[in-house]
Amino acid sequence: MNSVLWIVVAAAILIFVIGRRLAGEPLRAGRVTIFPLVIAVVGLYQISRVPHLTATDIGVMGLEALVAVVLGMVRGSTIKVFVRDGHLWQKYSWATVGLWVGSILLRFGMTGGGMLLGADKSVMQTAILLTLGLTFAGEGAVIALRARTLGAPFAPRDSRRARISP
């Protein structure tokens, strides 16, 4: 699959997730652990198929990966985590959405800066799923830590999804 198609896939995932989480949803363990890892592994697979990675490409991707995790952790601190119907729920705040916008703009800037340093544009585009998975992993780590303090279990798989306002 070419890198432009992966960008479209990443954008669709992002829009879907932000929409669901703005409305509020039950907090399921798989969504904070497995979901980000699957996206990151697919991203790593795509990068592994690139035949001509340079040290600059790897360095820029490494920096983008680190920044993605940190920004995910910062976003995780802005998400409302609460108990409803006996289990955990989450809801994005407008600050969370603002941080997403800032994260996306920063990634564009970092990709542009990487290309100025000699990184290959198609490699930087290919890394989008890796950085998306890592930023969700950083967010999920903070949410999971915050959720533990509430003492309620994660939502079961069959929990009803309802729009809420905590």
What is the residue-averaged pLDDT of the chain? Answer: 90
Give the tokens for residue 46: 């795509």
Contact (Cβ atoms closer than 8 angstroms) between residue 123 and residue 43: no
Q: pLDDT at position 6, please? A: 75
The pTM is what? 0.87
Give the tokens for residue 74: 């910062």
What's the rounded mean pLDDT across residues 138-156? 94
For residues 48 and 46, give the distance between their C-alpha atoms in angstroms, rounded to a whole number: 5
What's the rounded mean pLDDT across residues 134-138? 96
For residues 16 and 160, give the distance between their C-alpha atoms in angstroms, rounded to a whole number: 18
Burial class (CB in 10 A: 0-12, 13-18, 19+), 21: buried
Q: pLDDT at position 4, please? A: 77
Indicate the pLDDT class of residue 163, thresholds 50, 70 and 90: very low
What percentage of the chain reaches a pLDDT higher than 90? Answer: 69
Burial class (CB in 10 A: 0-12, 13-18, 19+), 136: buried
Q: In this model, does residue 136 exceed pLDDT 70?
A: yes
Taking only the tens place, the pLDDT of each residue in 29-60 is 888 889 999 999 999 998 999 888 999 999 99
Between 8 and 83, whose confidence is greater? 83
Taking only the tens place, the pLDDT of each residue in 88-128 is 999 999 999 999 999 999 999 999 999 999 998 888 888 88
Q: Any residues with CB less than 8 A from the CB of 132 and at least 6 apart, and which?
A: 10, 13, 14, 39, 40, 43, 68
